[in-house]
Chain A
Amino acid sequence: GQNIDQPTEMTATEGAIVQINCTYQTSGFNGLFWYQQHAGEAPTFLSYNVLDGLEEKGRFSSFLSRSKGYSYLLLKELQMKDSASYLCAVKDSNYQLIWGAGTKLIIKP
């Protein structure tokens, strides 16, 4: 079966750095997405990786290793507004998105 694993919850301090990991086992691979979802709101797109390596976008970076079936989302200079759930999703060989259950990130002052 297809599976996406990510930690259920993480806690970090304002101003610090946090890394949210995602491992996947899917039938085929056509890219990996990270989304942010604030409580009671819609998921919003953060990043897309299809080749190995690091993609940087401001305070957020996303890394992919296809051989290891592994990705992480790196958040720098954490702000209170970064408290949210972070969803990892992989497009399989049928271009269908397979979703992880999300990581709830709690930022403390």
Chain B
Amino acid sequence: ETGVTQTPRHLVMGMTNKKSLKCEQHLGHNAMYWYKQSAKKPLELMFVYSLEERVENNSVPSRFSPECPNSSHLFLHLHTLQPEDSALYLCASSQDEGASSYEQYFGPGTRLTVT
């Protein structure tokens, strides 16, 4: 495996379910990110981890709970979601969280539908 991988690619869940999204990066990067992408809207940064420590939480509802057990893996735990949470959830990584020039590498995303 190379780059950034995400599983599952598609997920349909009811509002009372609990599920988890998984992200793995094979690039040796120190920073990992969760984004939400909704149609015709800018990417919304949800969480940032640098060296396994959370450094950013952009006022995300508590029904989204991140976990970073090591620098290669990132999870997003979901519970009691709302239909408006349906979106594409993208994971990304970069060499360093604070440097200017390091680009982010994205995974293919998980298409989430909440029914």
Q: Which residues of B does A touch, CB under 8 Å?
A: 4, 40-43, 45, 48, 56, 90, 97-101, 103-109
Is A101 touching B101 in the complex (CB atoms < 8 A)? no
Is B100 touching A30 in the complex (CB atoms < 8 A)? yes
Is A95 touching B97 in the complex (CB atoms < 8 A)? yes
Find A43's partner among B90, B97, B98, B101 (CB 8 Å cutoff): B90
Chain B, residue nearest A41 (CB): B108
Is A8 touching B109 in the complex (CB atoms < 8 A)? no
| 9-residue interface stretch from A12-20, A44-52, A56-64, A65-73 | A44-52
Question: B49 → chain A, closest Cβ, in Å?
Answer: 14
The interface residues of chain A lying within 8 Å CB-to-CB of B41 are: 101
Question: A106 → chain B, closest Cβ, in Å?
Answer: 15
Is B108 touching A99 in the complex (CB atoms < 8 A)? no
Question: B42 → chain A, closest Cβ, in Å?
Answer: 4
A78 interface contact, C-beta 8 A: no
Is B106 touching A44 in the complex (CB atoms < 8 A)? yes
Is A42 touching B109 in the complex (CB atoms < 8 A)? yes
Q: Write 24 A-B pairs (CB below 8 A) sorted by A numbering.
A: A4-B42, A8-B40, A30-B100, A31-B101, A41-B108, A42-B90, A42-B106, A43-B106, A45-B103, A45-B105, A50-B100, A87-B43, A91-B100, A95-B100, A96-B45, A96-B48, A97-B43, A97-B45, A99-B42, A99-B43, A100-B42, A101-B41, A102-B40, A102-B42
Find A95's partner among B4, B99, B106, B109 (CB 8 Å cutoff): B99
Find B104's partner among A30, A97, A101 (CB 8 Å cutoff): A97
Is B98 touching A95 in the complex (CB atoms < 8 A)? yes
The interface residues of chain A lying within 8 Å CB-to-CB of B105 are: 45
Is B56 touching A96 in the complex (CB atoms < 8 A)? yes
Is B108 touching A48 in the complex (CB atoms < 8 A)? no
Q: Which of A30, A33, A97, A101 has the most CB of B within 10 A?
A: A97
Find B107's partner among A31, A42, A91 (CB 8 Å cutoff): A42
The verdict on A31 contacting B100 (CB below 8 Å), with A99-B42, A99-B43 known, is yes
Chain A, residue nearest B40 (CB): A101
Question: A79 → chain B, closest Cβ, in Å?
Answer: 22
